[in-house]
Structure 1
Amino acid sequence: MAQSLAGLASARVRRILRFFPESSQAEREELRATARKLLDTHGEKVLTGLRPAERVMWYLASEGRAEDLVEVVRGQRRDPGGFLVTGARRPRLVLPGLRGLALPERITALERRDLPVTAQLTSVEWRGGDLVWGGYAFVANLPRPSGRIGRFAVLKHGKTGRLIKLRLRRTRNEQATVASGQALHCYDQTGFEVVVSARRLRELAGRGGGQWFLHIGIPGPGGIHTSRVRQRDAGTAGHNQVRHLADGSRLVVGFTKDAVSITVQQPPAEVESCTVVDGELLLVARARSGAEVPAAVNITQGDTGLDSPLTPLSGPSGSADAFRRYRAVFSLDRLTANDPSGIRTRPFTVTLKEAGGQDREALLAEGFTTGRHGLAPGRELAVHRDERGRLMLATRPVRPIVDTMTVTAAGELVIEGTYPGEEAAGKKVILRHGVRLEEKEVPVELADGRFTVRVEPEAAPQVDGPALPLCPGRWYLFFRDADAWDKSGDIPVTLRPEQVGELPLHFSGPQRAGWQQGAGGQPRAFTVDRREFDRIFIEPERLLGPDEHGAYRQRILREEYFQEQRKLPLRDAVLYLSLGGKQFSDSPRFVYEELVRRGVEVEHIWTQDAGLPEMPAQARVAAWGSRAWYEALARSRYVVVNTVIGDWFVTRPGQRAVQTWHGTPLKKIGADLLGSPKSSPAYIASLPHSYRQFDFVVSPNAYTTEIMSRAYCIEGGMFESGYPRNDVFYAPDRAERAARVRERLGLPEGKKVVLYAPTWREDQRHASKLYKLDLQIDLAAAQAELGGDHVLLFRKHPKVHGSVPGAGRGFVWDVTRYPDIADLYLVADVLITDYSSALFDFAHSDKPMLFFTYDLEHYRDTLRGLYFDFTTRAPGPLLKTSEQLVKALRDIDAVETEYKEKYARFKKDFCEPGDGLATARVVDRMLADGPHATAPADG
């Protein structure tokens, strides 16, 4: 295939196109000349490989139509890849809001590849003997099929291509619109339900072995668009299911190469049982009368294989049915020789060998029972099965196996199962998030070889810190040695294979006080489901309701519902937003507490996002992006935030919006990053409007006022009041507050408290695009040296995800989910940080700081850049290694003495004003000249 124009252009030119509205005249001319030259050299075939909207942009660039290109680029930023389609027989692209844009037909003409089909399975169920597939299917940018022909479904044979038409019923499926990821079209009506009747399934079996794939057809411009339906990664739409028929056929309803299929199998022999008896593995196979009987069974592990002939089984073991039975016997000692220790799983491949030497899969008979047999301490032989009904053997660490799941009337999930007592002794149970890697230790009861785990999804305990609700995402269960340092030895909790069909399990938690989510304020729903056949997970539902979730519905809420609410009278309410709704913390928290202390008669509404932070009982809670939140944002008389809201937000007459912000800049920000590889000219261009939203922007000091005014293009004045959050260092009750924090965390008396609060690294990302925990401290060595008289509180940055090794063992405390770092400052005797703004806040305390700047040159010169020479102005030593850090902690008194003068200069430069009255000043200004105005505070 010919290379596309975008592939031929340089990275610089592609960047000019990406940020064309913000580009200079010289850059625009460079783009035009490059695009024109490439088209003249290679011809317009270089446009064909581009997506439709991208094709338009490159064409406009080559023609020098700058004004049109600006509008197209801005439109694509709002909804990447989104467009309208016109023309029934010869489909053409129309860009929303730009119907008058003059473009040649060769640019707007749409081919099949420009209109890809998404066909997604979401559920598989059995209704009696009928198979029912549920899902959604749509053509990109075509929310509705056109013409008189409706959608249809067929089964297509993988080899012959033969088609069997199926009954398809259209349904509503909001998941389609959410999954589309775009904001232009609503695909709710693209759901489907396809029924394959029991009679049809018997017909498929009667046709003999083979594989049939499910296809969906959708009428649209230019004809019928078809696609195979693809699977999900979990649940009933992500796993194969085996169905045995009366004639001995078996149907595997599931997936091949991500496509939904029905595989018809007619095995001549099946494995009926596999057990361990007197040191031998006894495998019993059965064959129907007249069927060819395999000659032997082969078990292979790596390059080593064991064979055993299948010999007829006679006597009392036989059954009076249509089957003949045979057995194969293997020495357990030979089979498990050289079995590794530890947590490694060692799988075996089992096949049935025919007389001619051909291998067949060891398929399981209906009613086969799995089991396990103990080997050396900590190891077992698992007689298992996979989702396609094949025999699986493996030696592995002894696993906890779930066999019972119930839900109490109070919404508590009770999970029970078997785990031999000698293996379970001394272990704890960890609930770990599959993406965030956040961990919670949940209670477990062990007795008589069984375990019982109780999970309160709305109040799950943390390893360190308060019990909090489970945030959205998948939570997996593990057993871990109580004294384990990290997760490397975790044993996963799995489901008994015979019970996988009992999932999904749906249940509801209790109603949460003060919670008003968009889904009508009902208790949150939870699901227990599975991945990788038998790995169970608990998944809370998303916080937003069906009419709120996804880019499309968020656009409708912003453009329609929010605007309608703005026409209604203002209410005496304050809406708070701290770090995107992920915390009840920071300066918005202190403003809230000051308003409560003064008794100002307003309703308090706190924004809460997926992190589900702890919230004050006296406030109402609204999920970010819910209808309740948009209503509060439109009608609250006061809005207090420490991050930006969105460029669509504009305050209304009579409404006060306060931006408290959340840091003193050491690393470069905003427009000061312009020209660096990671800068976004579009973001920088949006800054003036973003800060016009606010009546005033709070600054902690003169240094920040100068930088923020320039870097964030703040046109109005800044209020140099000091950060309300730093009043905590001057509060008269700070000692009592610190004592309450120590008690809440359970910190041991008499030990020095070290708080470690690093920032994130932009170049350290997970595949999920979340930032990795860049852990460079040797925590085990630190515990060995300091554990007797120190504790280390580890506070990850909100953008960083990863479990903290050693947490929960007495030295390392993971306090990431503690509501507010300000409380942790009070109990800390020493702060370790790097380039985080925490250093400017903690300087108010006069307590020593250490700077673990192991990557200073890279961070300063390549990654982000710093505003001043940190090597000369830092109020503490810059340390490169974990050994240096531990030594400095042991000699902290000497460090404090050495840096006393630098610390004083630093505090003078960055901690004024620092009198404990910042919150009062901010609240006075927020309320000034309004219905809740009070006499200004002194100072």
Structure 2
Amino acid sequence: MSTLIRKRALYRLLRSRLRRRSGRRAEPLLSVVLPVYNIERYLEPCIESILGQSFTRLELLVVDDGSTDRSPQIARRFAERDRRVRIVRKDNSGLGAARNTGLAHARARYVAFADSDDVVLPHAYRDMVRMLEKTGSDFVVGGFRRGDEERFHVPDWVQRVHASTRTGLTIEDHPEMLLDITAWNKVFRRSFWDATGLEFPEGVRYEDQVPMTEAFLRARTFDVLKSPVYLWRTRGDGSSITQQKATRADIRDRLASQTRSYDLVREHGSEVVRRAWLVKLFGYDFPGYFQAALIASDDYWELLREQMTRIRAEMSDDALAAVTVYPRMMSALLADGMREAAEDVFVFNQRHPSGWPTEERDGVRHVVAPLEAAGDVAPVLTMVTPADRHPRSRLVDAVWEGSTLVLRGFAFLMYVDDVDRALAVRLVDDVSGEVVEADVTPVEFPASELRPGREFEDHSRSGFMARIEVVDLVQRSRGPTVLWRIEVVQTYGGVTRAAGFTGLDNAGSVGVRPTRVVDGHAVRLHGTVSRGIAVRVAAHWAIATEVRSSGPGAMRLLIDSPVDDPVVGLHAETGEARIILERSGGIVVAAQLAAGAGEARPLRALHRSGASSPVVLGSGVELDGDPTVGTPLSLAGGRAVHVGRPAGAVLVDAVRAEEDALVVEGTAWGVSASTLQVMGPRAQTASASQLGQGKFSVRVPLVDDPWGTGDAPLPSNRYVLAVREDQETPVTLTAALRHALPAPMEAAGYRWQLSGRQNGVDLRPIALADDERGAFQQGRRQKAYTTRRSAERLDVVLFECFAGRTVGDSPLAICRALRERRPDLERVWSVEDRSAAVPAGTRAVVRWSREWYELLARAKYLVNNNNFPAFFAKAQGQVHLQTWHGTPLKRIGHDIHDAGLMSRSYMRMMDAEARSWDFLISPSPYCSQIFPDAFGYGGPLLEVGYPRNDVLLAPGRDDSRERVRKGLGLSPDQRVILYAPTWRENVRDGGRPAKALYLDVEAVVRQVPGAVVLVRGHANTAASASAARAGVVDVTLYPDVADLFLAADVLVTDYSSVMFDFAVLDRPIHLLAPDLDEYRDRVRGFYVDLEDVAPGPVHRETNSLIAALVDGDDARWAPRRSAFRDRFAPLDDGSAASRVVDAVFDSAGEGR
């Protein structure tokens, strides 16, 4: 029997069976209030996340709070195409007033709030409104994710207070919910809001804390959702209101909201609730102000200290012990006015974020912290309490052995030895309350694989293997679908901590999650860390046991389903997709999919009973496709099948290492003329041969020669396998290969770790041995380093440049000078990885390796242009030469007015470094006036010129220029413009420094005859990639910038020290500085007036610069360039390195 079921008819059937909503317009059930003020960068994704909710009966009230950017136009575009959007305009008066205005216009039964730089997660409003409709509670609160533009996480406290879904609570039942006092992850019953008289304070920050606290205290009942409903975005540029903590206005508003909220807690809360509030303040609110308190003005410090002193006076030792040790100690020290001691502890924590050392006193474990400045402190401040013993666990493997699901992972309690705690794994059905214990056996786990690792704790005995007998789970399951939530239970000292996995290794078998049929039920691993990992047992299922192409854009699937509830239909929302079903043998359905346009959507099966289930790929089954056009199928989590437009795809079934390359084998569809590449942010290589159609085998190099200087291993970073010509084409691993991962392979000087994702393949080079990797192993190495510093000196010069990221700058010039002058000294380079090419006659040692620590401890000479790590302490008899890395225009070190630009740990480290320097190079009298005070340095200054500029004046510089230009692929007649801006502390990308590229390089290439632009980012932005463009070469990773100076005809910079070096060549220099006023006056500050001393014109925008480049009248700037050299580079004559060797290596003695 065969039946043709067109999409429209099938859609009507599924709509009724699956309770799909109709397209009729109904009155909104939920009002979402969205204040908007100058947020154009983030607004569109925010609005899309609200209007794209599966819950459609909502109205979106966009409250324009007097925006002056494009935000109103963006909102209007949405309103024009979606009648659910209403825009309310008002004069700017802050977030609280905007929310109140939105409430005044809201007309729905429920109300929610969102911030316009955040994202509401899919299904959030559906789940929350559904919960309130079911329970009748006054409001519901969901979990949230916190992160920047790229990386998100669920804070520990959110995981704890949202550990399970709970309904009908009061604040007495769950007082820790007072931690969750943001407005945007909640939905309120409007009648409750009005009856309680809730409103947002206006004209202040932290406007949501008082009404949210009052809501918890006065609610008849509220509900808690386990799942996250909201993404609270940390802006990469640090511009959001709540990120600007180090201002008096911020601390004033924060303390006022705390005081008002605590008044409410005293009025309406019990003693238990009051204790929870105090713990919240010390443990969660005040820590956000620790750094600000240490760098801010005295009046800021006093405001915070007075508040903390008042709170400290109300806290019993029992309440203090409920706060984790770091905020407990810091809050108490600040409350007692011990600023110096607080800074010691703050810096100590920055340097040891994975945990602190401990010792036992009178049978009680205490942390060891630098408290000398505090004198005697109360024992409760250093005691390790149950609050500190956070559970950590990670699921590493999940494989089937018959009907047994075998899990492997590790679990430990922080500050607890693994042998002292009991471990169990159990499965919980939250609906029935039934609990099933798994059979657990301990296994060894390499310390190098522990994530997160602990510097002072060896958790190599934290591994476990848990065997789950699934037949038992199936027999105990009640209902069509049951989720058995997995808990890791650890008991120590009479205290039991039960929690879900805090981490997953999705790269291997855990990410595959195949479905297995056991006793007529489909069983598989399910969920995420934030939602919880569970074993899913389903009575309704549809498993594709065979997938093959049946022509361009068409697929044929064999689908297995339950005997007593077979599949009778399929559905996928994919444009004009048609699905033809052929019944065969009662339980097998052959489905032929003719896919059309549209994004990939889940393929769902409709069963005879009316139930539905996702179609998943069976174990050992892989996708297929047409050789020319690709495949319309893709896979999501749990190997769920999606259907969409036919597209190219690459399926990898084997990977092996071969000398300096990977040999990759598999099947390709629709990408016959393409090549496979290894791609990362710092390098990429591609196969020489094309993939072809069907089966392929290609060789992808793991070495690269981007600058024409010879093949070198790729820089250490995360790489992906990708189709070079279309990076959107999915490259995936077969399930069989993923099950065997992650697997290390030796190639090109590294061990490469291959791992799979749902729609991608990752590669990571590992430069360190197993006993050198991880926090614990590094901690051991640092202890050994301390001991080895007293060993005999080695006749070695250890060079380092920018933390080993490159081999260049003044250390390279000195290294070259030593070759002839001191052949008795072995020259060794500290490098980040094997990609750094070192000069002939020298060798490299990888940073953080055992040998690197040994040389750092014992080398007679240390030469650096930056700083060594914070643990470094110069040994007796070592000679430490600091070259620094540039003549400063912008303020450095202690001369920086805004202390918040440099972390306290960095400043402490630099102070210690300066005390260890035996010599500091000063390139000029100008620098000699700045360096001592800026670095707090009182030792010998070598005012000798800059060694790094010797090469610019060397006799063979013309030959070097020709060599470099040839290596970069530049012709002799091209006009080479080197664009080398500095980094901006206030320009961030995903929380990291980003390239601040204000030059329109395309316009330069287009309008300046014969121009090619070399873009050189600052060393601090080397991980930030630039897109490839015609006529533009990204040379950020070029080893030595001096070569680029030689190759360039013109320099374009801003506030970078490169202008002082390039001036030696007497070639044109242009300064592009659109943010000059802000950077000079508010960000960093300058030592001299740039416009007064500049060696070339200062431009505020690209057009002015282009006009000057086209005009070519550089001769009139020659006097300025000459004066600039005379003032800032008078000693650069090509022999600075030789003078350094004379001063340091011929007569250094034993150092200071």
Contact 2:975 2:1049 in 1 (8 A): yes
Which of 520, 530, 533 matches 2:756? Answer: 530
SS state at 2:490 partner = strand
1:582-661 equivalences in 2 (<5 Å)? 582-598=805-821, 600-610=823-833, 612-661=835-884
- TM-score, normalising length: structure 2: 0.69
CA distance in 1, matches of 2:825, 2:361: 57
Aligned AA (1:546): D
**Which of 804, 809, 816 matches 1:581?**
804
- The offset of 1:163, in angstroms, is 3.0
Letter in 2 for 1:431: V
The one of 915, 919, 927 equivalent to 2:1133 is 915
Residue among 1106, 1116, 1132 paired with 1:886: 1106
- 1:6 touches 1:14 (CA, 8 Å); kept in 2? no
Q: What is the alpha-carbon distance in structure 2 between the residues aligned to residue 449 and residue 573 of structure 1?
A: 56
Per-residue CA shift, 1:321-350, capped at 9, x if unaligned? xx53345566x3xx515x5xxxxxx11232
Match of 2:324 in 1: 51
The offset of 1:865, in angstroms, is 1.5
Paired with 1:507 and 1:363, the residues of 2 have a C-alpha distance of 30
Q: For 1:577, give the aligned amino acid.
A: E
Consecutive unaligned residues of structure 2, counting only runs of 5 or more, are 1-177, 179-276
Match of 2:472 in 1: 203
Letter of the aligned partner of 1:372 in structure 2?
G
Moved more, 625-634 or 43-52: 43-52
Structure 1 residues 235 and 288: CA distance shift in structure 2, 3 A: closer
Change (3 A) 1:178 1:770: farther
- Residues 1:452 and 1:846: Cα distance change in structure 2 (over 3 Å): farther
- Do the aligned partners of 1:16 and 1:31 also contact (CA within 8 Å) in 2? no
- Residue 567 and residue 167 in structure 1: after superposition, are their counterparts in 2 closer, same or farther (change >3 A)? same
Give the Å deviation of 1:242.
Answer: 1.2
Cα RMSD, aligned residues only? 3.8
Residue 700 (structure 2) pairs with residue 455 (structure 1): yes
CA distance in 2, matches of 1:101, 1:128: 62
Could you tell me which of 714, 719, 741 is aligned with 1:504? 741
What is the alpha-carbon distance in structure 2 between the residues aligned to residue 799 and residue 554 of structure 1?
24
Structure 1 residue 530 displacement after superposition? 1.0
Q: Which residue identity does 2:587 align to in structure 1?
A: R
Distance 2:331 2:1059 in 1: 47
Matched residue type, 2:1069: M
Residue 431 (structure 1) aligns with: 678
Residues in 2 aligned to 1:682 and 1:802: alpha-carbon distance in whole angstroms: 24
Q: Does 1:385 align with 2:659?
A: no
Out of 1041, 1044, 1053, the residue aligned to residue 821 of structure 1 is 1041
Q: CA deviation at 1:137?
A: 1.3
Q: Deviations over 1:646-687 (max 9, x none)?
A: 454343343221111110001111111144442445644554
For residues 605 and 703 of structure 1, the distance between their equivalents in structure 2, rounded to whole angstroms, comes to 32
Which structure 2 residues correspond to residues 335-354 of structure 1 after superposition, within 5 A? 335-337=595-597, 339=598, 346-354=599-607
Q: Is the 8 A contact 1:154 1:215 kept in 2?
A: yes
Give the partner amino acid of 1:252.
R
Matched, 1:413 2:662: yes
Give a deviation string over 1:807-845, Cα, whole Å, max 9, x none. 5x4x22222222211111111111111111111000001
Q: Could you say what secondary structure the match of 2:771 adopts? A: coil
Deviates more, 1:661-670 or 1:746-755: 746-755
Distance 1:65 1:446 in 2: 67
Compared with structure 1, are the counterparts of its residues 889 and 861 closer, same or farther at alpha carbon in structure 2 (3 Å cutoff)? same
Moved more, 857-866 or 243-252: 243-252
- What is the aligned counterpart of 1:443 among 687, 698, 701? 687
Q: Post-superposition shift, 1:798?
A: 1.9
- Aligned residues, how many? 868
Task: List per-residue Cα deviations over 1:203-237 (Å, max 9, x = no partner).
Answer: 33444563333332223134222222244253126
Secondary structure class of the residue paired with 1:760: coil
Q: Assess, with a 3 A threshold, how the Cα gap between structure 1 residues 446 and 73 changes in structure 2: closer, same or farther.
A: closer
Find the aligned partners of 1:557 and 1:366 in 2 and give their Cα distance. 45
- Compute the displacement of 1:30 (Å): 6.0
Mapped partners of 1:872, 1:13: distance in 2: 40
CA distance 1:546–1:19, shift in 2 (3 Å)? farther
CA displacement at 1:722 relative to structure 2: 0.8
Instruction: Establish whether residue 790 from structure 1 lines up as the match of residue 1011 from structure 2.
Output: yes
DSSP-derived class of the 1:888 partner: helix
Gap change, CA 1:279 and 1:841, over 3 Å in 2: closer
Structure 1 equivalent of residue 718 of structure 2: 474
How much does 1:739 deviate? 2.4
Secondary structure of the corresponding residue to residue 388 of structure 1: helix
Residue 695, structure 1, aligned to residue 918, structure 2 = yes
- Following the alignment from structure 1 to structure 2, what is the Cα–Cα distance between the partners of residues 241 and 492? 23
Partner residue in 1 for 2:772 = 548
Q: Which residue of 1 aligns with 2:997?
A: 775
Unaligned runs of 5+ in 1: 340-345, 482-488, 513-523, 934-939
C-alpha distance in 2 between matches for 1:16 and 1:794 = 36
1:288-339 deviation digits (Å, cap 9, x = unpaired): 68512333222214xx6878685534xxxx6xxxx53345566x3xx515x5
Quote the Cα distance in structure 2 between the aligned partners of 1:212 and 1:815. Answer: 53
Question: Once the two structures are superposed, what CA deviation does each residue of 1:426-452 show, in whole Å capped at 9, x if it has no partner?
Answer: x5554322xxx2232323312642655
Instruction: Decide which structure has greater helix share.
Output: 2
Give the aligned partner of residue 926 of structure 1. Answer: 1144
Q: Is the 8 A contact 1:440 1:461 kept in 2?
A: no
Contact 2:582 2:589 in 1 (8 A): yes
**1:216 is aligned to 2:465:** no
1:384-408 CA distances to partner (integer Å, 9 max, x unpaired)? 3334132221215423443443333
Going from structure 1 to structure 2, the CA distance change for 1:697 and 1:59 (only over 3 Å counts) comes to same
Identical counterparts, % of pairs: 25
Question: Structure 2 counterpart of 1:154, which letter?
Answer: R
Distance across 1 between alignment mates of 2:383 and 2:1033: 60
Q: 1:634 to 1:263 in 2, by over 3 A?
A: same
Secondary structure of residue in 2 paired with 1:141: coil
User: Which residue of structure 1 lines up, in the alignment, with residue 648 of structure 2?
Assistant: 398
Partner of 1:580: helix, strand, or coil?
helix
What's the secondary structure of 1:407's corresponding residue? strand
Match for residue 520 of structure 1?
A: none
Residue number in structure 1 paired with 2:106: none
Q: Is the 8 A contact 1:445 1:453 kept in 2?
A: yes
1:482-521 matches, cutoff 5 A: 490-495=727-732, 497=734, 499-501=736-738, 503-504=740-741, 506-510=743-747, 512=749
**2: CA distance, partners of 1:324 / 1:498:** 25
CA shift, 1:125, in A, is 4.4
